[in-house]
Structure 1
Amino acid sequence: MERYDTLYALYEAFDVDTLRAYQDFVDLFPPVDSRVALEYWEEASDELAERTDRVADAYGETYAALAAHATREQAFTALDLYSKHDRPVNVLVLDVDETLRSAGGTDNEIPRETLHLLTVFHENDVPIVVCTGQTLENVKGFLIQGLGNELVHSGDVSVVYEAGTGVFTPGHGPDTKRLLYEELDDDVRDVFDYVRGRVLPDAPEDVRRGCHLQGNEFNVTLKPNYETGSEDAVAVIDHATVYLTELLADAIPAASTDDVRAYFGARDPEIAAVLDARDARPPADHDVDSAAEAVLDRVQLAYYEGDAAEVTANELDKVAGVTAALDVLGVADPFALVMGDSKSDLRVMEWAEDNDAGIAAAPDHASERVREHAESTDGLVYDRGAAGDVLRTVYALNRLADGS
């Protein structure tokens, strides 16, 4: 209990809120061409140093750094995590959309605080794996803009893109770009080639006009031409999901449309509800052809209400991408912070739990199963757009581990 007592005393004895405000100002103050502003920043920096030194004199450098970066609640949560797991986080595995940034909470931009905290972890030799369903070019663009070209190309940052079809880790020679989809056999790749080639030309008019094909290297993803989550987006993605079942049936020689719909309807309640709503679900007693099922077992139809309808390969999920990224980065014994909001992120969280390889965190608006997983494991559920709160908690965890 000694560490808990020390934290109680620290947060009672010092005005840590003001200390943290000075730290945030010094860290996040935007660069300006103003001598007056620079002098103001220098004064704040001096005051921060004096306050930090006073805490360090009383409790040591570890607790001084912790107080300057974490709230009382975050510090105690960090100590709980350290008491439970007895090790620091040595890699970050981070989803982007609705995790690091949120259309509803951060104007779809990664907050400056979050970007700064990522640089702090980088400076403390914690590799970063960005794990997303987006295309590589999109991810590279906003990472370089937010974190800088030098950090992204440092050799300690990896991008798992298109939910696991490829891994991009600059600075690793022949392993810089690993196209995991090239390892699939022809039976699966032929399905994707067919679906990709027909998905828009053969689409019903409302899907063709209301959707666009995301520029993926391998996955086939239909996105709405309407605001995500709007009534129009929900309607067109629902229709697109039903349409993709028809394309998959055409792409798999042994499959009928009823086979495909029965298969995915039995495995995903959301897809089942979409099929039911459009009177497209086959009878409950429909038997899926065994040859068709063998191929369908390797293909995933994913539905994201009002956001996307997607065909992916079961062998290429975020877990496959993350493990490949960890291999390239040389993280042999990972203990990751896994942050995400969707079903694809849940698989990584479950992999981390099953292998004692990390902890999970989710925004409070994440899908129900993801949120429940985060709550039931370590309770790391944060407000929309507030990913920085979890990063601060894990920063505190690592400082406690370093100071032990």
Structure 2
Amino acid sequence: MERYDLLYRLYDEFDTETLRDYQEFVDLFPAVDSRVALEHWQDASEELEARKGEIRDAFVPGETFAEVAAHATRDQAFTALDLLSTYDRAINVLVLDVDETLRSAGKTDNEIPRDTLHRLTEFHENGVPIVICTGQTLENVKGFMIQGLGSEVVHSGDLSIVYESGNGVFTPGHGAETKRLLYEGLDEFVREVFDDVRARALTEAPEDVRHGCHLQGNEFNVTLKPNYETGSERAREIIDTALVYQLHLLGTAVARAADEDVDEDDAVGWARAYYADADPEIRGVLEREGEYEARDLDELPPVLDDAFERVDVAYYEADAAEISSLELNKVAGVEAALDVLGVDDPFALVMGDSKTDLRVMRWAEENHAGIAAAPDHASSDVLEHVLSTDELVFDRGKSAELLGTAYAMNCLASLD
């Protein structure tokens, strides 16, 4: 109980709230060419150092407790200590989704907040590798990570990008291992199906889909995005239509690639029935669009069953309709990234909001390889998992607060 007693003393005897305000001001003060502003920053830095000095003098592990107080609220610090008591391990890698996790279209102007970026920089400076794990294209992710964290961090050799939900892994600074194209390891049948779907995704699309959507610039996944504001009613309508069309494309592509004679229209019907059964959201879209057809999946032709078991169809309401490989998901990408980074015994903080992130969370739990956290607007399945494990749920746009808890956890782990 000694560490708990020390934490009680820390937050009872010191004005930690003001200390954190000074720390945040010093950390996030914008670079300005103003003598008055710089003097103000210098005064704040001196006051911060003085307040930390009081804590250093009051505790034997003074530096550690000063860092905890400057980065975590009372609740965050005790959560950190509870986690440490449960797992007896520090976080040694971050595995982070981006959209609606690190950043939120509703709360952060679709940019990663500066306090979150600073937290990531602190983990990097403390030798904790970062795995950015996203469904976005590599070029998009590289761009905003370099803009946010800086080229030095991105190219340090301690940051890896799992892109397109696991189809590729990019880890600058690792020679021949810098870029792993995991989709190249798929067999010819699956690659033929995806090539066919991609080639016809817009050229054969109904007029409203052709004019209302664009094909995201993926290397392998086939993702239709709306030409309207994400989340808007018009985006919802066009993505619902696009999902129906993608199921049509997938059914016909599988029929064409099959070695045996398969009727394309029949394959489309089976595709709709199969994925509707697998995902209630997809079934709901098909029912609203008048395209749902109930079928006995026990009678599903084996060639179609084998193909559909290897291909995922994902629906993101008012955001995207996507076809991806189930053999290549975020878990496969994370495992490849950890291999390149040399993290042999991971204990990760996994942060995400969607069903693709849930696979990584479950992988971490099953392998005793980490803990999971999610924003409060995450999908119901993700929230159910997070609440059933360590209850690490944070407010929309407030990923920095959860990272603060993890930072405090690592500080406290250094006391052992």
Same fold (TM over 0.5): yes
For residue 283 of structure 1, report the CA deviation from its aligned partner.
Answer: 2.2
For residue 4 of structure 1, report the CA deviation from its aligned partner.
Answer: 1.2
* Cα deviations by residue, 1:136-188 (Å, 9 ceiling, x for unpaired): 00000000001000110000000000110000000000000000000001000
Partner of 2:6: 6
Which amino acid in the other structure matches residue 36 of structure 1?
A: V
Partner of 2:259: none
Partner of 1:87: 89
Return the alpha-carbon distance in structure 2 between the equivalents of residues 179 and 229 of structure 1.
31
Partner of 1:63: 65
Partner of 1:338: 350
2:316 to 300, 304, 312: 304
For residue 345 of structure 1, report the CA deviation from its aligned partner.
Answer: 0.4
Return the alpha-carbon distance in structure 2 between the equivalents of residues 285 and 181 of structure 1.
32
Return the alpha-carbon distance in structure 2 between the equivalents of residues 135 and 204 of structure 1.
25
Which amino acid in the other structure matches residue 326 of structure 1?
A: L
* Cα deviations by residue, 1:277-317 (Å, 9 ceiling, x for unpaired): 22212224252111111111111111111110000000110
Return the alpha-carbon distance in structure 2 between the equivalents of residues 293 and 30 of structure 1.
56
TM-score by length of 1: 0.99
**Deviating more after overlay: 25-34 vs 322-331:** 25-34
1:267 to 274, 278, 286: 278
1:318 to 330, 351, 357: 330
Return the alpha-carbon distance in structure 1 between the equivalents of residues 18 and 276 of structure 2.
55
Return the alpha-carbon distance in structure 2 between the equivalents of residues 99 and 21 of structure 1.
24
Partner of 2:294: 283
Structure 2 residue 411 is matched with structure 1 residue 378: no
For residue 235 of structure 1, report the CA deviation from its aligned partner.
Answer: 1.1
Partner of 1:355: 367
Matches within 5 A, 1:231-242: 231-242=233-244
Partner of 1:118: 120
SS in 1 for 2:203: coil
Partner of 1:227: 229
Return the alpha-carbon distance in structure 2 between the equivalents of residues 315 and 283 of structure 1.
27
**Deviating more after overlay: 273-282 vs 5-14:** 273-282
Return the alpha-carbon distance in structure 1 between the equivalents of residues 220 and 372 of structure 2.
28
2:210 to 193, 208, 226: 208
SS in 1 for 2:166: coil
Matches within 5 A, 1:36-185: 36-59=36-59, 60-185=62-187
Return the alpha-carbon distance in structure 2 between the equivalents of residues 8 and 326 of structure 1.
37
Return the alpha-carbon distance in structure 1 between the equivalents of residues 382 and 304 of structure 2.
30
Which amino acid in the other structure matches residue 399 of structure 1?
A: C
SS in 2 for 1:272: helix
For residue 5 of structure 1, report the CA deviation from its aligned partner.
Answer: 1.3
For residue 206 of structure 1, report the CA deviation from its aligned partner.
Answer: 1.0
For residue 54 of structure 1, report the CA deviation from its aligned partner.
Answer: 0.6
Which amino acid in the other structure matches residue 299 of structure 1?
A: V
Contact preservation (8 Å) 1:99, 1:387: yes
For residue 265 of structure 1, report the CA deviation from its aligned partner.
Answer: 1.2
Contact preservation (8 Å) 1:262, 1:288: no
Q: Name the % identity.
A: 67
Contact preservation (8 Å) 1:167, 1:179: yes
Which amino acid in the other structure matches residue 377 of structure 1?
A: T
SS in 2 for 1:96: coil
For residue 47 of structure 1, report the CA deviation from its aligned partner.
Answer: 1.0
Return the alpha-carbon distance in structure 2 between the equivalents of residues 25 and 392 of structure 1.
15
Return the alpha-carbon distance in structure 2 between the equivalents of residues 285 and 329 of structure 1.
46
For residue 263 of structure 1, report the CA deviation from its aligned partner.
Answer: 1.2
* Cα deviations by residue, 1:353-399 (Å, 9 ceiling, x for unpaired): 00000001100011111111111111110000000010000000000
Which amino acid in the other structure matches residue 260 of structure 1?
A: A
User: Gaps (5+ residues) in structure 2?
Assistant: 256-261
Contact preservation (8 Å) 1:210, 1:225: yes
* Cα deviations by residue, 1:214-261 (Å, 9 ceiling, x for unpaired): 000110000011111211111111111111111111111246111111
Which amino acid in the other structure matches residue 207 of structure 1?
A: V
* Cα deviations by residue, 1:104-132 (Å, 9 ceiling, x for unpaired): 01111111000001000000000000000
Aligned residues: CA RMSD: 0.9
User: Gaps (5+ residues) in structure 1?
Assistant: none
Contact preservation (8 Å) 2:124, 2:130: yes
Partner of 2:381: 369
Which amino acid in the other structure matches residue 54 of structure 1?
A: E
Partner of 2:268: 257
Contact preservation (8 Å) 2:270, 2:295: no
* Cα deviations by residue, 1:28-56 (Å, 9 ceiling, x for unpaired): 11111111211111111111111101101
User: Size of the alignment, in residue pairs?
Assistant: 404
Which amino acid in the other structure matches residue 65 of structure 1?
A: E
